[in-house]
């Protein structure tokens, strides 16, 4: 996810059943060239394990250089070939790479030659199943350690059905572990798709934003989860924009329209904390001491 899975949120979801947490998608060229960019984009701690640093890159050198910089502090690196946003396509990163299997294979090989931690790739499906399988097999031949597949093409909207049948075929075709991504909004969804496809695990993005306790079996974000997020954010530090937007996602199902209008215009962390305490009796608390 762009921006949202930084350290306070990663530590939160670990407390609720997440086994592997990813950083936000980080631009490899900015990361390797800017100390300020590195400080802003990747912060970790001894308890942030296992963590996979996800990069967006358009060439092997940028990716391998960035991977080498984080290798001491991460448990894996991931190449994003799935971001469908127009700016990413324009920069020849993300889902642009779904048209460049040989380039992706070369990029992974360069990373594998430079670091001794796992390297994975996150991809989307192509409109044609056979072309999807050909793409995945070329990526597999790079020596990639595992592959995550989002079951929509780069042009499909998130409201369209996720193609779990193609993900099943991919799992049956390759020998490396395969994770499935897309439309995971409950633990039942996760169990269902693993059972039906034989995949080795699932990755959730939007589902965890709305309910960080998803993998612990909660249907909605529990109050203590929000309180823990407040505690983590104050303990580790976060910026107001990300702090505010995480809470907008978590509280979406419990706020009415009037409440949302009032909450969404808050512009400071103290103001947000005051609002949550006054209206919901929610304060920063560490529930996992």
Q: What is d(CA 115, CA 111) in angstroms, rounded to the nearest whole number?
A: 6
Mean pLDDT of the chain, nearest integer: 96
Domains defined for the chain, CATH in brackets: 19-203 (3.20.20.70), 223-280 (no CATH)
Backbone angles phi, psi at 122, to 5 degrees: -110, 125
Alpha carbon separation from 50 to 23, 40, 101, 132, 140 (Å, rounded): 11, 20, 28, 29, 23
Kindly indicate the confidence band of residue 42, based on its pLDDT and cuts at 50, 70 and 90.
very high
**Chain segment 193-230, per-residue pLDDT in tens:** 999 999 999 999 999 999 999 999 999 999 999 999 99
pTM: 0.95
**Confidence check: pLDDT of 102 > 80:** yes
The mean pLDDT value for 10-18 works out to: 97
| Structure token pair of residue 74 | 């991460």
Rounded to the nearest 10 degrees, the angle between the axes of helix 240-250 and helix 257-264 is 170
Buried/exposed 58-90: b ≥16 CB within 10 Å, e otherwise: bebebbbbbbebbbeebebbbbbbbbbeeebbe
The mean pLDDT value for 33-54 works out to: 94
Cross-strand pairs, 284: none
Those residues with Cβ within 8 angstroms of residue 234's Cβ, 6 or more apart along the chain or in another chain: 284
Backbone angles phi, psi at 115, to 5 degrees: -130, 160
Those residues with Cβ within 8 angstroms of residue 158's Cβ, 6 or more apart along the chain or in another chain: 152, 206
Residue list, annotated binding site: 54, 122, 150, 205-206
Backbone angles phi, psi at 119, to 5 degrees: -125, 125
Q: What angle do CA 119, 122, 123 make, to 5 degrees?
A: 135
**Chain segment 132-163, per-residue pLDDT in tens:** 999 999 999 999 999 999 999 999 999 999 99
Question: Residue 160's pLDDT is what?
Answer: 95
Q: Left, alpha or beta for 179 (phi > 0: left; psi -120 to 50: alpha)?
A: beta
| Structure token pair of residue 42 | 């990747």
Question: Residue 37's pLDDT is what?
Answer: 85
Cβ 235 vs Cβ 228: under 8 Å: no
83 is catalytic: yes
């Amino acid at each position: 996810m762009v921006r949202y899975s930084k350290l306070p949120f990663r530590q939160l979801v670990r407390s609720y059943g997440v086994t592997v947490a990813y950083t936000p998608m980080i631009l490899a060229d900015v990361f390797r060239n800017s100390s300020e960019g590195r400080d802003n984009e990747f912060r970790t701690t001894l308890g942030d394990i296992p963590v996979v640093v996800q990069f967006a890159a358009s060439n092997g050198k940028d990716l391998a250089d960035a991977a080498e910089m984080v290798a001491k502090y991460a448990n894996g690196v991931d190449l994003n070939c799935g971001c469908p946003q127009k700016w990413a396509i324009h920069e020849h990163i993300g889902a642009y790479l779904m048209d460049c299997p040989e380039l992706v294979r070369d990029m992974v090989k360069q990373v594998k030659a430079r670091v001794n931690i796992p390297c994975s790739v996150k991809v989307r499906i192509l409109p044609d199943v056979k072309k999807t399988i050909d793409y995945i097999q070329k990526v597999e031949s790079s020596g990639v350690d595992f592959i995550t597949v989002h079951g929509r093409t780069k042009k499909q909207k998130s409201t369209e059905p996720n193609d779990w049948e193609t993900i099943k075929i991919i799992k049956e075709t390759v020998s490396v572990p395969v994770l499935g991504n897309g439309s995971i909004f409950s633990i039942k969804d996760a169990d269902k798709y693993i059972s039906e496809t034989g995949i080795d695990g699932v990755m959730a993005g939007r589902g965890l934003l709305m309910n960080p306790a998803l993998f612990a079996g909660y249907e909605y974000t529990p109050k203590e989860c929000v309180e823990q997020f407040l505690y983590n954010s104050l303990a580790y530090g976060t910026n107001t924009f990300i702090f505010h937007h995480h809470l907008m996602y978590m509280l979406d199902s419990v706020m009415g329209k009037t409440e949302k209008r009032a909450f969404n215009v808050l512009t400071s962390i103290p103001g947000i904390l005051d609002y949550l305490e006054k209206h919901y009796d929610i304060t920063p608390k560490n529930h996992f001491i």
